[in-house]
């Protein structure tokens, strides 16, 4: 299924039904008086969050949503039927924003969360409500109110405890495939991961936690180079970032400079994201000739008080220690 995490839509709630203008017409009941019923309420437009979805794909192809209008009032004070509410399921983690102001209206951050984004119009009152001692035969009733309408932005931010970041080919997809049941695409060229992947890690006798693998950033991402910043929203909710750095002889550039490059890009995207706690992980330790690169990165982390781990997703070296560390930080 195609991953879509952004969509713009138009939502229009149902109009209320108009009140009825009617008078009793029964045998042996002279001057029966007004008996016009009220109109029904228009249907609301309601978003509901569910774990059964993980993409906003449906909203990319259908962008206009109209709820049912209320039925008009009828004779004998019969109330018109309310319009049916339009229920729209979205993935957990969806933000609903006003398209005109970019204001966040609702944050559906848990399963079952609901948000009424457009309220249906109230039904109009029938003429039976307007009879008085001096106005015994009112020839009017209220029209129904119009339903609310809005242009909305839907923005999905994955709900994860840990976010994996790093340059392309740093080993993020391989790591998440080893520590969880996620099965992302893995290959030896850049940008094999084109969408975020979410996996659940289940340590023995520890609380499980969710990990998000974010497609590789590169220098200049804030200018739209590479995949740009389009997926960084998915690590904004995380408690901690795990920054993967390739320390093998196949890695390009200085590992410390690579680490600093990505951190600069995070700061350019968001000051809060730039200050989020990180654990630094040197990857691909199974490949020969990495001692100098490993020592350089390890020394830098020690000097700057950063948590550092060396792992090999292929041999499993350092993986249990890393998982235990992440579980500790979350608890």
Confidence at residue 223, expressed as pLDDT on a 0 to 100 scale = 54
Report pLDDT digits (tens) over 25-35: 877 777 778 99
Q: Are residues 95 and 14 in the same domain?
A: yes
Q: Evaluate whether residue 196 is within a structural domain.
A: yes
Range of the domain at 287: 162-330
Q: Are residues 194 and 319 in the same domain?
A: yes
The mean of the pLDDT values for the chain is 85
Which of 156, 185, 212 terminates a domain? The answer is 156
Q: How would residue 208 be classed by pLDDT, with cut points 50, 70 and 90?
A: confident
Q: Are residues 222 and 204 in the same domain?
A: yes
Report pLDDT digits (tens) over 280-295: 999 888 875 668 888 8
Domain count, the chain: 2
CATH code of residue 24: 2.70.210.12
State pTM to two decimals. 0.73
CA dist 250 to 110, 261, 312, Å? Answer: 42, 18, 14
Confidence at residue 191, expressed as pLDDT on a 0 to 100 scale = 41
Coil/strand/helix, residue 320: helix
The residue among 7 and 293 whose pLDDT is bigger is 7
Q: Evaluate whether residue 253 is within a structural domain.
A: yes
CA dist 110 to 118, 256, 327, Å? Answer: 21, 38, 21
Q: Are residues 23 and 152 in the same domain?
A: yes
d(CA 86, CA 222): 38
d(CA 242, CA 89): 31
Q: Evaluate whether residue 240 is within a structural domain.
A: yes
Report pLDDT digits (tens) over 161-172: 888 888 887 888
Q: Evaluate whether residue 204 is within a structural domain.
A: yes
CB 95 within 8 Å of CB 155? yes
Q: Are residues 269 and 178 in the same domain?
A: yes
């Amino acid at each position: 299924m195609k991953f879509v995490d952004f969509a713009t839509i138009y939502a229009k709630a149902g109009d209320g039904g108009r009140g009825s203008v009617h008078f009793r017409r029964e045998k042996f009941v002279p001057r029966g008086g007004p008996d016009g019923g009220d109109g029904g309420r228009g249907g609301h437009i309601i978003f509901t969050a569910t774990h059964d979805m993980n993409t906003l794909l449906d909203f990319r192809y259908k962008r206009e949503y109209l709820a049912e209008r209320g039925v008009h009032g009828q004779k004998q004070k019969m109330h018109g039927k309310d319009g049916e509410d339009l229920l729209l399921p979205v993935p957990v983690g969806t933000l609903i924003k006003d398209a005109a102001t970019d204001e966040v209206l609702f944050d559906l951050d848990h399963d079952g969360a609901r948000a009424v984004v457009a309220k249906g119009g109230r039904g109009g009152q029938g003429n039976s409500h307007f009879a008085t001692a001096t106005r015994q035969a009112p020839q009017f009733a209220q029209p129904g109110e119009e339903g609310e309408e809005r242009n909305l932005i839907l923005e999905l931010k994955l709900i994860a405890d840990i976010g994996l970041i790093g340059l392309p080919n740093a080993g993020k997809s391989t790591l998440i495939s080893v520590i969880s049941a996620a099965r992302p695409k893995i290959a030896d060229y850049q940008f094999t991961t084109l969408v975020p992947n979410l996996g659940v890690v289940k340590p023995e006798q520890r609380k499980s936690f969710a990990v998000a693998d974010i497609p590789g950033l590169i220098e200049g991402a804030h200018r739209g180079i590479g995949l740009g910043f389009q997926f960084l929203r998915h690590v904004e909710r995380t408690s901690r970032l795990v920054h993967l750095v390739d320390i093998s002889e196949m890695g390009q550039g200085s590992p410390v400079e690579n680490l600093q490059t990505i951190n600069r890009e995070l700061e350019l995207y968001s000051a809060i994201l730039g200050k989020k706690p990180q654990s630094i992980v040197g990857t691909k330790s199974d490949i020969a000739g990495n001692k100098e690169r490993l020592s350089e990165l390890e020394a830098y982390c020690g000097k700057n008080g950063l948590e550092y781990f060396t792992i090999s997703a292929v041999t499993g070296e350092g993986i249990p220690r890393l998982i235990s560390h992440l579980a500790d930080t979350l608890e």
